[in-house]
Structure 1
Amino acid sequence: MAEHFHVNTPLLESVTMSKVVGTTVYLKMENSQPSGSFKIRGIGHLCQQLATQSKGVVCSSGGNAGMAAAYAARKMGVPATIIVPSSSPQLVVQRLQDQGATVKIIGKVWDDANAEALRMAETEGLTYVPPFDHPLLWHGHASIIAEAAACLGPSVKPGAVVLSVGGGGLLCGVIQGLKDVGWTDVPVIAMETEGADCFNAAVKAGKVVTLDDITSEAKCLGAKTVCKKAFEYSQCSELTIISELVTDQQALHAVETFLDEERVLVEMACGAALAAVYSGVVRRLQDEGRLLGPLLVIVCGGSSVDMKQLSHLKHKLQT
């Protein structure tokens, strides 16, 4: 088996975040992956399994999944076509092209781009790379927890894992990872922004639902329907998944605070997870007696942000 495309990312203790919640906060720094986010774990694994003899890969993505697919394809010497919706920042298109991918802009939201990717896979014989809904992706993402467990050692077990949910691929991978290391009793705090809350909507409705539209600025959380497996996990009595929402303003504030305190710039989709600490969600859950012990926060990263985009978001969300 060829070596992985992902790297074993640092697990850092955040003194400032630990102070906010009164317990140790460990940060799994997935922003330091070569493609800019955790997505390379699952997508790299899937490409190695399915695309070695491929004519090319096609992936629909508003950003990070596309970056991971383009990176993996370049490493494998296979052509990549990435279909992005028109809501994707120009910065993302440029970064995808820098990885050597062909970029097509189709439709307004990810669902439109995905329909085109499926069509191209069918008509042009390309390998379809799904951004979040595939067991091979979850298997790859599970390595986050395996690494964290190895790094923390047998004497430290997190009191909770905090992550952002878009389509649910990271959530499925983390739960797979928790099962692998015997941590199924560790609660998962699943964070979304209002307006990109397909998982929370499904949990509330007791069934998978499709949002009418994505109104949040956290475009990378912008799937209108969560993957079925993520919803099934939320209904499983052996697991504790706590679904929480923050506003776009809280997610953006978290991005800015994280940049000041940890010297790292991540996108708003990642800011949703960080906002669990900064906006008081974790404190509230602690007060309710639902959380005990140290936190493991997955800093999922993001390739669709730079200082110009950050200024643009600040301006947009202040109105």
Structure 2
Amino acid sequence: MHIKTPLLESRSLSQKVPGTVWLKMDALQPSGSFKVRGIGFACREYAHRGTKKFISSSGGNAGVAVAFCGRKLNIPVSVVVPKSTTERAKELTRLENAEVIVHGDTWNEAHLYAMELVDDSAAYIHPFDDPLLWQGHASIIDEICENDITPDLVIVSVGGGGLLCGVIEGLQRNKLKNTRVLAMETQGAESLHLSLQQGSIVTLPEITSIATSLGAKKIAQHTFESAQKCKVISNVVSDSQAIDACLQFIRDHRIVVEPACGAALAPLYQSSPFLREYNNIVVIVCGGVVATLEQLHQWQKSVG
């Protein structure tokens, strides 16, 4: 379902750190984000098992990816979205011929309702917590290795942790045991960061970040265990820093990404001191279907 995306050297970002910065451009996936890697892998597997319908819950990228895969496999899709979901996200999901059901104020409420809709003929496609997703997302590391690039550091945005789990699995199966992972979140959605600090999974009382694609109140258990085992570096930026990174990325590379992706770009644009020890830095440009230049400017004004 997914395509092999370019791995581009970023001259502008490489000027901000001692090493070389590489961009894994998953914003160019046909569904608009990296999500189609794992979701496509899962959908194919469930279709092979005889599934007649896909049900998912999402406020954006995952829902569009499931809808895209369902259309390609000729399997109907229903996506439950919370009330906070943008009209653009709902429009893009319907454009892929999926049914959109609005329920609940948060993703967690939409997720619980979606689970109630699952019967023996349907498969639930979780946005981030499914081993099939992680296996599919791991292909992003396979492709980096095919380019003969051995990263010292991979920078990844974290919401529920599906991409992080996939990156860790990909590093393990390519025997890149010396490659470190930097997990980036925004303030108000830092469930991984707080969990690692506390030593147990933390459930956020609410999501206050505008980076709603990172808006899981708690990470998956496997995410927490993998991050601890692999000694993932965790860091947090503000909404303002994430948005500024998105706008600078447009200027430098002419690609629009959402603030969730901006979180991964932000430490590079800030020339963060802890990046100085790495020679080859790969940042996963994960994309984002709801982002537009107009929306980014609106968010910028809202956060001051």
Deviates more, 1:203-212 or 1:48-57: 48-57
Aligned residue pairs, count: 303
Question: Paired residue for 1:219, among 203, 212, 217?
Answer: 212
Question: Paired residue for 2:44, among 44, 48, 64?
Answer: 48
| Aligned residue type for 2:182 | I
Distance of 1:158 and 1:138 partners within structure 2: 20
Matches within 5 A, 1:65-84: 65-84=62-81
- State yes or no: 1:85 paired with 2:82: yes
Matches within 5 A, 1:228-239: 228-236=221-229, 239=230
Distance of 2:74 and 2:254 partners within structure 1: 34
How far has the Cα of 1:75 moved from its partner? 0.2
Structure 2: gaps of 5 or more residues: none
What's the counterpart of residue 289 of structure 2?
303
Contact 2:18 2:279 in 1 (8 A): no
- State yes or no: 1:317 paired with 2:303: yes
Contact 2:24 2:282 in 1 (8 A): yes
What's the counterpart of residue 285 of structure 1?
274
Contact 1:186 1:240 in 2 (8 A): no
What's the TM-score once normalised by structure 2's chain length? 0.97
What's the counterpart of residue 25 of structure 2?
29
Q: Which secondary structure state, in structure 1, belongs to the residue aligned with residue 156 of structure 2?
A: strand
How far has the Cα of 1:208 moved from its partner? 0.9
Distance of 1:106 and 1:78 partners within structure 2: 22
| Aligned residue type for 2:233 | I
| Aligned residue type for 1:179 | Q
What's the TM-score once normalised by structure 1's chain length? 0.93
Matches within 5 A, 1:163-242: 163-236=156-229, 239-242=230-233
Cα deviation code 1:98-152 (max 9, x no counterpart)? 1111001111111011001100014x7421000000110000000000000111x
Contact 1:162 1:276 in 2 (8 A): no
How far has the Cα of 1:317 moved from its partner? 1.2
Distance of 1:286 and 1:100 partners within structure 2: 43
What's the counterpart of residue 135 of structure 1?
131
- Equivalent pairs: percent with the same residue? 43
Give the CA RMSD over aligned residues.
1.1
Distance of 1:101 and 1:263 partners within structure 2: 30
Contact 2:194 2:202 in 1 (8 A): yes
Question: Paired residue for 2:246, among 250, 255, 266?
Answer: 255
Structure 1: gaps of 5 or more residues: none
Distance of 2:17 and 2:271 partners within structure 1: 8
